[in-house]
Amino acid sequence: PVQAPFAGVVRGLIAPGTMVPAGLKIGDVDARADREACFTISDKALAVGGGVLEAVLHHGFARPEQGRV
């Protein structure tokens, strides 16, 4: 069994059967205990996704053998 250090709603867990070292974070618990928050995209996730999209659009698409990814 795995115990969280505080109560809340589980937002994600590492895949079952994955070998990890002791002490590694294997999940995410939302302390707000708001179940509906599990079905929303956080501001942080939107910012990361926006940065990735900007990088892809800036650098373009190419096959690895062409020297650009």
What span, in angstroms and rounded, lies between the C-alpha atoms of 43 and 37? 12
Output 59 or 15, whichever has higher pLDDT.
15
Give the residue from 40, 43, 38 showing the smallest Cα distance to 28: 38
Average pLDDT, the chain: 84
pLDDT in tens, 33-55: 788 877 888 899 999 999 999 99
Residues 6+ apart with CB under 8 A from 6: 29, 31
